[in-house]
Structure 1
Amino acid sequence: MSTPLAPARATRISLAVRDSSTMLRRNLLHARRYPSLTLNLLLSPVMLLLLFVYIFGDTMSAGIGGGDRSTYLAYLFPGILLLTIGGTTIGSAVSVAMDMTEGIIARFRTLAIHRGSVLIGHVVGSVLQCMLSVALVGAVAVAIGFRSTDATALEWLAAFGLLALVSLALTWIAVGMGLSSPNAEAASNNAMPLMVLPLLSSAFVPVDAMPGWFQPVAEYQPFTPAIETLRGLLLGNEIGHNGWLAVVWCVGLAVLGYAWSKSLFDRDPK
């Protein structure tokens, strides 16, 4: 015999899905109307990709065991994808901060909508933008010679899943940064580590080739295991312990970012 709680719970879930879908649509429309921020953030990884391949490619390839420009392109590409995600999520921090400072969140609080739908709309919209940005950067890499002939369909699917998981984790962190920032400019500055950390990882050179004092910084951070896992999936290399380390980092950051964002968002407005 069913209880009245079941229909009520189903109704709450359906309302939450409906309101979250509305907020997602709002954020996607906002991104479409103001594409300059996304394009500016996307330009940096593309320029770094072209710069390191065509200017430093021959020299850098010697440091990873020889080869030519295409060898270094294959090594560099996974790191550029993670850099792209980090840059795209900065836009999420700015967008959330703008909503908080321009009063739209205060207005949403007065409406009969699911409270968490505002953040969910930002997060899902950001993950979709991250994956679109990854696809665009991937198209540029393929155009200049990247090939992944050794990766199977399952490995491509795993790589796609890892990129989505990284996007989700970094987006929740970026949302927390946006909520804690007094304005959009501060949010952009606070979220800069999401682009700087990939530069301090194994994205451009192997950890073993770095100065000894710097190797722990590059090795024990979230981007290096994610990059090494992605590199192994796309190039057919050994992943080793990097796979589970990347998943643990992503899940941990996602949970931390969610708890932080929820705590900030649930505070009573001043």
Structure 2
Amino acid sequence: MTNFPITTETKAATLGATNAVFIGRSLRHSLRNTEALVMAIALPIMLMLLFTYVFGGAIDPGGDYVTYVVPGIILLCAGYGSSITAVDVAADMTNGIIERFRTMPIKSIHVITGHVVASLARNLLATGVVIGVALLVGFRSNASFWEWLGAIGIIVLFILTFTWLYAAIGLVASSPAVASSYGFALLFVPYLSSAFVPTETMPNWIQGVAENQPITPVIEAIRGLLTGNLDNSNVWWALGWCLVILLGSYVWCTWTFLRKAGSR
């Protein structure tokens, strides 16, 4: 029997095919979980309408509050959508499917990649819907094409970062319910930022937290890009925070998966 050598190209093709299978699996799960998909889109829209039409008049009587609040709503949308990943990963780790994957000639850790890519696609769809609704209720942008591209790039990086973070949380959680609780707690972080009101309007002790946490520079970078009033330092801080959290989350996620699942 002739043994054919496994080339680098063959390994790359096999890896790509395996990832495609797991990505397709996660996307199908997302489409079947219609309640979570609808809530990932509906909740940010409801919050935007609430803050714009109920609180907006008191916060900004001039009627421009929708332009201020949209970047925060986008990140809240991304955070909520990413939190679903923690539940999905925890479900895979507790329902026995990982053990079945380990019996196959594949790296079962690709299941995490599938969840991350599906979350990115799901969140970009939700973000597009949120921006569309924002335009309908009065959001206006002075951004150029390249500024829009820069804002979208930061949003994609933020989604990717927090999806890997939630994937790691799903791995350490003992059940999907616990993963959901951890994810819900993290969703309060944007409220302690400049998402809904300027940080200088907050009490001093909260202001210090709001100005020095990762979400604020990300929001300010997106807001500056979309309104044409960009402070470059916010972009660098946003990129720095996202890359540090992304790297830490990826390492944490990979190490935890290999330890718990005994992946190949």
Shared fold by TM > 0.5?
A: yes
Partner of 1:42: 41
Partner of 1:60: 59
Whole-angstrom CA distance in 1 between matches of 2:20 and 2:8: 18
Question: Residues 162 and 230 of structure 1 are in contact (CA less than 8 Å); yes or no, is this contact kept in structure 2?
Answer: yes
> What TM-score, normalized to structure 1?
0.92
String of CA shifts for 1:21-53, please: whole Å, max 9, x gaps.
Answer: 110000001111111112223332212111110
2:201 to 185, 209, 224: 209
**Aligned amino acid, residue 244 of structure 1:** W
Partner of 1:13: 12
String of CA shifts for 1:32-91, please: whole Å, max 9, x gaps.
Answer: 1111112223332212111110011111115xxxx22xx100000000000000000111
> What TM-score, normalized to structure 2?
0.94
Residue 138 of structure 1 and its aligned partner are, at CA, apart by 1.1
2:117 to 124, 128, 144: 124
Provide the secondary structure at the position in 2 that maps to 1:56. helix
Q: Does 1:91 align with 2:90?
A: no
Provide the secondary structure at the position in 1 that maps to 2:149. helix
Structure-2 change in CA distance of 1:183 and 1:268 (3 Å): closer
Provide the secondary structure at the position in 1 that maps to 2:225. helix
Partner of 2:234: 242
**Aligned amino acid, residue 240 of structure 2:** V
Q: Structure 1: any 5+ residue segments left out of the alignment? A: none
RMSD: 1.6
1:180 to 161, 168, 172: 172
Whole-angstrom CA distance in 2 between matches of 1:36 and 1:83: 18
Whole-angstrom CA distance in 2 between matches of 1:19 and 1:214: 47
Residue 110 of structure 1 and its aligned partner are, at CA, apart by 1.3
User: Runs in 1 of length 4+ with deviation above 3 angstroms?
Assistant: none
Partner of 2:32: 33
Deviates further, 30-39 or 109-118: 109-118
Partner of 2:149: 157
Partner of 1:101: 94
Question: Residues 38 and 91 of structure 1 are in contact (CA less than 8 Å); yes or no, is this contact kept in structure 2?
Answer: no
Question: Residues 192 and 210 of structure 2 are in contact (CA less than 8 Å); yes or no, is this contact kept in structure 1?
Answer: yes
Deviates further, 40-49 or 118-127: 40-49
Residue 106 of structure 1 and its aligned partner are, at CA, apart by 1.4
**Aligned amino acid, residue 56 of structure 1:** F
Residue 115 of structure 1 and its aligned partner are, at CA, apart by 3.5
String of CA shifts for 1:155-200, please: whole Å, max 9, x gaps.
Answer: 0111111110000000000000001111111001111243111111
Partner of 2:223: 231
Deviates further, 25-34 or 106-115: 106-115
Whole-angstrom CA distance in 2 between matches of 1:42 and 1:82: 12
Structure-2 change in CA distance of 1:27 and 1:40 (3 Å): same
Whole-angstrom CA distance in 1 between matches of 2:20 and 2:148: 28
Q: Does 1:73 align with 2:72?
A: no
Residue 207 of structure 1 and its aligned partner are, at CA, apart by 0.7
**Aligned amino acid, residue 109 of structure 1:** R
Q: Does 1:138 align with 2:137?
A: no
Residue 9 of structure 1 and its aligned partner are, at CA, apart by 2.6
String of CA shifts for 1:70-125, please: whole Å, max 9, x gaps.
Answer: x1000000000000000001111111111111111111111111343211111111
**Aligned amino acid, residue 248 of structure 1:** G
Q: How many residues align?
A: 259
Whole-angstrom CA distance in 2 between matches of 1:99 and 1:172: 15
Whole-angstrom CA distance in 1 between matches of 2:195 and 2:111: 34
Identity in percent: 40
